[in-house]
Structures are given as structure tokens and as C-alpha cells.
Chains A and B, each alone.
Chain A
Amino acid sequence: MVPTQFKNVEEFGSVIVQEPFLSVAELLTNCSSVQVNNQGGKGATSSVSIRGYSSNKTNVKWNGLSINNLTLGMTDFGGIQSGVVDNISIYKGNSVSDLNDVSIGGVIAMDNELNWKDTFHFQIGSEIGSFGYLGNQFKAGGLIKGFTFQVKSSFLSAVNDFKYKNHKRIGTPNEVQENAAYYNGNLIFSTGWRNKKIKFENHTWFSTKKVESPKIFADSKPSVAFYQDSSIRSVFNFYTPIKKVRIKGFYGINHERFLYNDSLFAINTFYVLNNNHFNVSAKHNLKDWYFEYLSEIQFQNAHNNQFEDVKRRVVSLTKSRIEKRLFKERLRISGTGVLNKIWRPNNVFPGGVIAYHFSMRQFVFKGSGGSHFRVGNFDDLFWPKGGDENLKPEKGWNIEQSVGYSVVIKKLEFKLFGEVYNSIVNDWIQWRDAGEYWAVENLKKVNAQGGEASLEVNFSLNEVELNFMSHYSLTKVTTLESELPNDPSIENQLTYVPMNKSKNRISLVYKGFTGNYVFNYYSLRHTTTDNVERKALASYYLQDLHLMKKWNVKPFSIYSKFSILNLSNQFYEGVSNRPMPGRSYYFTLLLNFS
């Protein structure tokens, strides 16, 4: 459960193995420091923000393929179950230079990994829960003479007919959520073949979901709106060494179809998005010197019924990284240079990151400074009225410093981690009221600064294992300068970013039983740019309880889990005006064969 924060990247593969029915949004909520804004019950729209930056600044990759919605910029994590992938990683701040990407805030990477060891394995499981929730997963794979394959599927649905007390209507009536159902399905085929020289991989996956727009607190009637989002994605990887250089070739296509319908207001928006990725990368080391090179090009196009024609854009990224390892690899110093080229709007953006990583006894120090960059999404550039094809990209810089310390005292293991960061985004893209219509502009200079600290304690005695993890984040995101006259957001906290949040977990393992108690706290979140207290969402805490048991009857293993979410039936608003479910119960049963 504990993120590997001493590394540059937080990884959650071990969590997925244990709890494949956790949605990606739930996993990130409970196990990472990122902020997840959920708009309702199971499967409801969930967006992720890293270090306080809005969700369209968080790049999301699935098997190396960029899956951010081209028109809106953000990714909706609602309903995606973590079990459909094998690993999820978070790259924050300058650590994105470790990845084939340039981003403000960070990158969330989801990956399917081929199993080159087991001859045959399968997993089948179901989860049922409150408010008409049902989930099913199936996974099977094997290895035959250098050929490996894996199939994963998940199908989920929820009615989300939870009860809530409506504090925003006279008499605080008890109401039942309506028009809040969702359905989500994923089917993933992964295949690979290798010999001593080369390796091929392919991942092809289909995703579809339908999400109804739930009733908000102030609504007198349920909404009739819904959206449907379907995609087919495929990536091909090719690996081969040429002398001592490891070469990787990549091609990926992301084809997505989206429909939003609201019959009350005769709104019917649909779009078809295509993103073709090609890249080639190379790695090589010469004694203590490590070299990496990457060149990527993306051909993107969008057909939206609100655009006049098909809009196209080409984005390229070239990256070179060099690292020197000193003192028996205790000190690593790296420099990364990137060159982004965008056609339409025509922009060239050079950038770079300098970083170090130093370990000394129980201490690990790391720090970096670098530039970051984000180009507007298709709506920003091409929306018929108010979009601007000549919009400048957002760009700025980020510095960060962290220290980790670990020590073992008898049966107790302590891990401490602290990090501070400071970043600037210039030419912040924002839509503004331009009188006759809304228009997008590069309006602001925004500063995000903050710190994160975590403590992990592990204790084991005979058959008892105890783990405690506590994580605290301080996030301050403010407007420093603005093109708007008397902009009320100056020096005020960005909306929906809690200044303080804390995530805590206690785990107890005894004779195959595991109990987890989770306590998360979020401070007040403003909903207005001038930070009017009365319009802010109140701080809240959530408690969850999970009880798990695993039985091993070789070659099978059976895993069961009983969860109570929102144990104290807490009333809270994740997003303004959106009712959230109260206490809910879930039961999971999973059968593994390996």
C-alpha cells in the first residue's frame, strides 16, 4: 500500500494486485497525494489534479499512449478499475523528464505488463455492493515458446440510487439520487513474442462507458443528460539491441468517440478523436555515463459537430538525457534537454531539467529544477466562437527538493519523507467573458508551492504485522499576475484546491487476515476565485474500513474482502452541489490460478 516515494515515481502495482476492484480514482484518492474530485457515486466523473494544478494539466498515458481528451484536455477516471492494468505510476513535477512527456503538474501512467514467467494463469472475480453496484473481472494469460498473451476484462455497473439529506432545499428533505447510473466495460488483449535479440509487444483494448448526469442538490427534478464514451486503442512496441544500444520503437493509435446529450436543452454534442503516436527511443551506457534519446511525433485530429471541419494538429517531442553516476552510484546527476515543436499553432518550445539523487546511509536527497509546458486543447484552439488558433502554450518552471530517511529500530521500521516545491506557470489559459461571447486567452501568471510529508511505520512480531502510513500535503496555488483588471483571484487560492489534506492508513495482518482502516482529511475548498468563505465547501474527513482474507490452496488462491466506505456516514461535497453517497458496503471474491 505504501507509495515508493523515495524513488522519483510513485508506483501502485502492488496495490492493484491486492485490490483489483478499486477504481483508479479510489486508488489515487487513498494511496497517493494527488487530489481527486469526484462528482457523485461509483463511476461518476472523477478528475485528478497534481500539486494543485487543474486536471487538464495532468497528462494521462495508458501503455504509453496519451489518453487525455483532445477537446477538453482532461481525463475522466470515473469507473476505470485499477485491475484492468498492472501498474499505475505518478510522475510529479520535474520527474516527468523520466517519461516520454512534458507536462505541467505531472503525469499519471497506467501500464499493462506482459507476464514472461508463468505458463498459465487466470483470475476471476466479482464484487457486489450498495446502490446497485456489480463488478466482474476476468484475467487469463500464458506463455508458450516465447509467445505470451493476456486477456483482461472488466464490466461494471451501478444504479447509484443512494439516499442523502438535501441541505440545500427547504426542510432538508431525504432524497434518493436519480439518473445517476453508469456502465463501464473494458476488454484488453496483450500479446508478446521475444527471442534473444528482439521483442514485440502489442496491447489492444476497447473501453466503453455510459454515465448519466446525476441530480444536483439544487435541482427540483432529475437531469435527463448523459454521456457515452467509447474508444479503441492499440500500441505496438518493438525492442532490439544494436550493439550496446537498446532501441525501442513504438506506434500507437487512440480512436475515441464521445456523445453528450441533454434532451431538455436540445444539446447533442458528439466528437470523434484520433491520435496517432510514433516514437523511437534509445538507451546506452558507457561506464558511469547513461544516455537516453527519444523522438516522438503525434498526429492528432478531431471532428466535433460544433467545429466547422476536421481540426488537425501535429505535436513532436525530442528529448536527450544524460546521467553521470558517481561514488558507487550513490550520487546521480542528470541533465535532460527537450525540444517541443507544435504545428498549428506554430510553436517551438525548448526546455530542460537538471536533477540529482544522492543517497548517504539512511538518507536520500533528491532535487531538480526545470521548465514545463502545455499546449491548449482543441476546444481552446478551435472552438468556433472564442477559440484562438494562435493561443500561446502555457509555460514556466519548477524546482523541488526532497529528503527521505529510513531506519530500523529492533522490530520497528520507520520511513520519513519530505518534499517542497515551487513552480510558476506563465500564459495560463483561461476562458473569459468577452461581452458578446466567451473567449480564451493567455491571462495569468500562476504560482503553485507547497510541501508533502509522509511517515511510514512497520512493525512485525511473530504472526502479526502492523503498518501505519500518514501523508500530509500543503498546497498553495495562487494567481500572481493577471491581464484582467482588478482580477479577484490575485493572491487567492485556486478553486477546489484544499490547502491541507491528510491521508492515513493503519493495516494489521494476522494469520491471513488483513484489516485496513483509512482516515482521509480535506480542508476547506473555495468555489469562487475571490475565496468568499460562505461559498466555500466545508472541510471533511472520510473513514473506510476493509477486512480481507486470503486462502492458498495450491495452485489456487482465494481472496475475499469486505469494505465499508464512508464509515461514519459523513455528509460532504467533493464538488459543489453534488450529493455524495453515505455509508456503503462492498464484498469482493477473487479466485486465482497460477
Chain B
Amino acid sequence: MKKSIIYLFAGTLLLSSCKDDEKDKESCSKPFNFSSGAVVINEGAFNGTGSLSHIDLTTNEVRNFIYEDANCDVPAGSVVQSFAINGEKGYVVANGSGEVQVVNLSTFKQEKTILLSYPRYIAFEGEKGFISNGTSEGKVFVINSLNAVTDTIQVATGPEGIFASGGKILVGCTGHWNGDLFTTMVDSVVAIINPSDLSVTNVNTWDKPTDFVEDKNGDVWVSCAGNGQYDNGADKAPAFVKLNVENGVAKDTLIIGEVGESISKITINGSGDIIYYYKGDGVYRVGINGDYINEEVLIPGNFYGVEVDPASGNILTFDAKGFSSDGVVGRYSADGDSITHYSVGVAPNGALIK
């Protein structure tokens, strides 16, 4: 009896301590081939890890955890902020964990990790990639075709959205948090980077330039969040600034709300003439010629992102549902009529649509 107890005890120890934690990469991996549809970016819960979901916009099928499935349940990182593609590679940007995972788009298997401080967004021009670093240090990291960091470009503080247009890279510099003054030191600079010599031209736009779209005429529209109650400087409503990238001139400024409101991410339809954005009460639209400027909210709701499927013109909305449960992607016609909804990962903030 005594021996049995000893063996039982020893067995328990042995079993638990000798567990082989190494996973067989081939057997545990469920590859995913991204050829079309929407890859949804899910930031993840507080203290958790982010994920990617895929929506087949033809069959309406949803597949969650595509990155984890392809990589033996290892997550892409904490706070997955954005996703971009360049050729056959995908780039998953996780700002919480400070890294960019480079994946093969035909399998979604991770091929390389680029370690960076607080990466936010990534854009490509030629063989170079440009990654914004959202801190007060005001840096843009440059990677080469081998996904190695080759240069660091100094721009104004708090670089956020980054966009390739007309052979240039545009970076929205929103400012930075001052912990001592408990206020955001607001910036209004769009840095235009020449990829060939990495020179920078600064263009003053409007407070907190955040995101970009290019219209059918080749002009770039910059969404500017404006200046709020806890920002340094005079209060300002949100606005769009229209830029001519080639000569670095702000052509027009369109104020689109009241002081105290804010905008961030924007998107444009396939024909490049209607921009969609969201405020606290839902999705709005504005034509590049000023159409719909006084229109009521197009899709009411509390959203964390908006995209347009260029093929169908359908609008996708991203509802983070309190950031602690699965989020919901809504699909609407261009006129705001509901089509369907998809359940995705935690805290979806946008999608890349191919």
C-alpha cells in the first residue's frame, strides 16, 4: 500500500514535469491562404493578445484566429493595430508587444519578426517599407526587402497613419502625451518622405492628422481629429485636409463637425469619390466635391473602424462591443442599408480587403 502511494505520487510528478511543451509545427499548423476577402484586425482584450479574422465577402463565411491557426496557436502579439500586404507577404503590426510579424500570404505562417518600439502602421513604396512609431520620439522605421530595419527617419511627434501616394510616403504626426502636464501636445504636421533619399518635407495641415485616402483625382485626403478638451491649444473641430502630394501643398480644408467631436480612420469607395468616416454616433459620408456634407448619420452606431469593399461598394463597420468580447462587423450597402453581420475577434478596428 505504501509503495502504491509512493508510485502514484512519483507518477503524478513525472507526468506533469515531463510534459513535452514543444509543438510539432507541421502537425499543429492549419495554414490559411489569403487570396480574397477581408482580413479583420482584432486588437484583443486588455492584457490579452490580438487576432486576425477572415471574412469571405462572397460566401459570408467567417474564420477567426487565422494567424494562431497557422502558427500552432501562437498569437501575433498584444494589441494588433494594423495589417498590410506587400507582394506575397503580409505584415501584422502589434504595438503592445512591439513587433511586426511577417507572414507568407499563401499559408499565413510567420516567417520573420521585426522588433520595434510601439509600431502603429506600415506602408510600402518600391522595395522599402515604412513603419510609424507612435511615441513622442517621432520616428519612422525603414525596412528593406529582406525585412531588416535599415534606417530611422525623424519626423514630428506621435506618428500614426502612414500612406503611400504618388511615389511618396505620408505620415500623420498627431502629437504626444505629456504625462507631467496631463495633456496631449498636439501636432498638425503631415511628413512627406521621399523614399529614395529619405528626405522629409513637413506640411502643416490641421490638428492631429490621423489617416489618409487618395481620391480619383490623385489628391490625398487627410482626416484630422481636431483639438479636444484635454489637448494642448485652442479647441478645434475635426476636419479633412486635401493635399497635393506632388508639390506638398494643402489645397483645401473641410471642417466636418463640432468642437468636441473627433474623427480618426477613413476609407474611400472603389470609384474614389465618396469618403466614409465615423464619429461618436455612427458612420457618415462626404463626397470629394462636398456632397453629403450636411447629411445625417448614414449608419448609426458606436464604431471603432470603417472600411469599404471596393468591388461591391459595401460598407463594413467595426463594433468593438466594449473591448471585452467578440466584436461585430456590419455589412451595409453604399446607402447604409444593413445586409448582414459577422462575429469576429475581440476589438476589431478595421480590415484589409483584397
Contacts and interface: CB of A to CB of B under 8 A. Distances in A.
B48 interface: yes
Interface in A372-422: 384-385
A169 B113 CA distance: 10
Interface in B254-277: 260-262
A285 interface: no
Contact of A265 (B74, B110, B135, B229): B135
A265 B133 CA distance: 12
Interface stretch (A59-67, A318-326, A429-437, A586-594): A429-437
Contacts of B17: 568-569
Contacts of B48: 527-528, 535, 576-577
A362 interface: no
Contact of A167 (B21, B47, B97, B99): B21
A489 B13 CA distance: 38
Interface stretch (A199-207, A214-222, A286-294, A467-475): A214-222
Interface in B144-202: 176-180, 182
Contacts of B78: 216, 218-219, 577
A512 interface: no
A434 B280 contact: yes
A569 B12 CA distance: 12
Contacts of B118: 264-265
B75 interface: yes
A567 interface: yes
Interface in A160-219: 165, 167-170, 172, 216-219
B212 interface: no
A218 B346 contact: no
A66 B47 CA distance: 29
B220 interface: no
B23 interface: yes
B279 interface: yes
A305 B182 contact: yes
B346 A266 contact: no
Contacts of A432: 322
Contacts of A268: 179-180
Contact of B98 (A219, A306, A543): A219
A302 to B, nearest CB: 15
Contacts of A170: 71, 74, 110, 113
B115 interface: yes
A326 B337 CA distance: 72
A168 B49 contact: yes
A575 B65 contact: no
Contacts of A484: 322
Contacts of A306: 182
B98 A267 contact: no
Contact of A433 (B75, B179, B322): B322
B325 A218 contact: no
Nearest to B282: A435
B125 interface: no
Contact of A218 (B96, B110, B228, B302): B96
A432 B47 CA distance: 17
B320 A433 contact: yes
Given A172-B23, A432-B322, A535-B346, A266 B136 contact: yes
Nearest to A268: B179
Nearest to B279: A435
Interface residues of A, number: 49
A481 interface: no
A487 B328 CA distance: 12
A265 B45 contact: no
Contacts of A218: 49, 75, 77-78, 94, 96-97
Given A172-B21, A218-B77, A434-B280, A528 B326 contact: yes
A265 B79 CA distance: 15
Given A220-B97, A266-B177, A528-B346, A577 B322 contact: no
Contact of A168 (B12, B74, B346): B74
A436 B262 CA distance: 7
B281 interface: yes
B306 to A, nearest CB: 14
Interface string B26-52: 000000000000000000010111000
Given A576-B47, A577-B78, A570 B16 contact: yes
Interface in B46-82: 47-49, 64-65, 71, 73-75, 77-78
A217 B22 CA distance: 16
B332 interface: no
Nearest to B181: A305
Nearest to A577: B47
A425 B107 CA distance: 48
B323 interface: yes
A534 B65 contact: yes
Interface string B225-236: 000111000000
Contacts of B262: 436
Given A530-B326, A534-B65, A219 B177 contact: no
A529 B322 contact: yes
A571 interface: yes
A169 to B, nearest CB: 6
A488 B326 contact: yes
Contacts of A269: 179
A385 B21 contact: no
A267 B176 CA distance: 11
B128 interface: no
Contacts of B64: 534
Interface string B82-116: 00000000000010111100000000001001010
A163 B64 CA distance: 32
Interface string A479-510: 00000100111000001000000000000000
Interface in A128-184: 165, 167-170, 172
A201 B197 CA distance: 76
Contact of A577 (B49, B136, B260, B325): B49
B340 interface: no
B231 to A, nearest CB: 12
A267 B177 CA distance: 8
B312 interface: no
A461 interface: no
A266 B176 contact: yes
A140 to B, nearest CB: 42
Contacts of A535: 45, 48, 346
B230 A384 contact: yes
B149 to A, nearest CB: 13
Contacts of A488: 321-322, 325-326
A367 B11 CA distance: 44
Contacts of B45: 527-528, 535, 576
A266 B182 CA distance: 10
A439 to B, nearest CB: 11
Given A220-B99, A267-B179, A575 B326 contact: no
Contacts of B260: 436
Given A170-B71, A436-B260, A484-B322, 10 more contacts: A167-B21, A218-B97, A220-B115, A266-B177, A385-B230, A433-B302, A433-B320, A528-B326, A568-B16, A577-B78
| Top-7 shortest CB links A-B | A435-B280, A568-B16, A268-B179, A530-B325, A218-B78, A488-B325, A218-B97
Interface of B: 12-13, 16-17, 21-23, 45, 47-49, 64-65, 71, 73-75, 77-78, 94, 96-99, 110, 113, 115, 117-118, 135-136, 176-180, 182, 228-230, 260-262, 279-281, 302, 304, 320-326, 346
14 contacts: A167-B73, A172-B23, A216-B47, A218-B97, A220-B97, A220-B113, A265-B135, A267-B179, A305-B182, A306-B182, A488-B321, A528-B48, A535-B45, A535-B346
